Structure 1
Amino acid sequence: MAKWTAFPQLGEYQYDTSSLTREWHRLHAGDAEPLPTDARVLQAWVLFHNGEFQRAMEAGLAAGEAGTTVANKAACIYANYLEKREKSRLAIFQEAAQRAQQHASAHPECPGSWYWQAYALGRYSQGISVAKALAQGLGSRVKEALERTIKLQPRHADAHIALGAFHAEVIDKVGTLIGGMTYGAKKETGLKMFQEGLRIHPHSPIALIEYANGLVMLEGDGKLKEATRLYQQAAALQPLDAKERLDVDLARSELAT
């Protein structure tokens, strides 16, 4: 495996198993992931929160099935934020989606497997164009996986936000009529999902960013002022770990352009 691009602020976050356990609830307010009982999986999460994404993925895979979620999260976050080569980026998403699908087949009660399957397929879809992905049937898979995630774990804020983004992107790309008839995408549902995700996890920078983007897609340029306010809110947050740092930096860079 090629060496991944390093997290730019490597060393800024220095969790260990003790500090991670103490901060677990705050760090996982977005996905409601249970604290691991397997020491190898917990260590993989330590690596993830510190920004050592490649090592986190490798440690998660080495831990067996229990490490699948952390491996997939590390791979997807790395691919989304740090991998600059589009071919490699799409390949990482495809591999993560396949791992998540296999794990969900064996463990259908695991919310993380459904969520990371949806996330990986969703980001892959954006890479090849949402319209093309919808034509390949990927949209339905994303929507169903996110709905399954929420059914299994109603407090999975990230899944609510992602489902809101799904409704917004489908309507933005194919319109309200076709989006509603073909893919079940609805403006009201999209807005409701965003609002519920932020209700569960109000201090999530990525939730604020996605809601801002979704508002403009669903409501038009009249919401640009509110979207800017949401970006400013995200940019002002104090990130808890490497992943949140990437989100906050994204908000700041968007505001600077």
Structure 2
Amino acid sequence: MKLIGNAINNYIGRYQERLGIATSMRLAKCYNNIRYRGEKRRAIENYENRFEELLQENQPGFSGKPRNKLEDGWCIDRSGNFPHIEETLAEADRLIADRGGEDRRGTPLAQTDYLFHLNDVPDLFNYRGLLKFPTSSEIIATVAEYMGMIPVFSQTRPKGVRVFESTNQFNKNTAYTASQLFHLDLHDSPLVYAILLVRDITEENGPWNFLPASESAKAVKALNYQAKGEPYRVTDERMYEVVDSSKRISFTGKRGDVLFLDS
């Protein structure tokens, strides 16, 4: 099965432009549903039959129901009231002190010239506090209720638990590129982020911008997005031809604010 997977991956990688993103994703999804059918079945069955038990085991005293619910693909919690949130914020501070502000262009931790990962999966053994917040029952329950199954952390792309540094310190390109442009993540669907602000974020220092799921669906149809020959990234100008710019949501806020988002 692994050999088949490598062959499919190589084929899609070579011919994705001919197939189109949507077709490539469907092929990959079909293969993964076969290869990982056992894992997927257990994730769904445990959610349907044992979920409250597992949440209680993970966090004794948890009520069993999350206080947040994603509506139209997103929700924001500004309470700062999550289990272990201070531990995770403190660990993120330590990681930033150890690794922040460095030019990581050309390294595996550089996603773009302005967006750096400060950790990889093995680093979680040295920064264990980063796992406290995302593995709390409140976070897991919120994501699981939306997905209809117990979520798992990715170890490929995008990495499941990561601290991002967004900076223009080393970016010479003044035009918006890559992640700064509208796009839908192609790694899987649904793919839910729980984004925890480690620093206060205003409009002046680069907030995360997104469209609600219903507006994204309109744009996908109007732009023929992910079809063969269509670009993966969409400029603001092109997007706002089919979607009212007032529908854009900007995730500004204080340290400790959390955005749940189906990307």
TM-score, shorter chain, exceeding 0.5: no
- The TM-score with structure 1 as length reference comes to 0.29
**Bigger relative contact order (CA 8 A; separation at least 6):** 2
User: Larger % of strand: which?
Assistant: 2
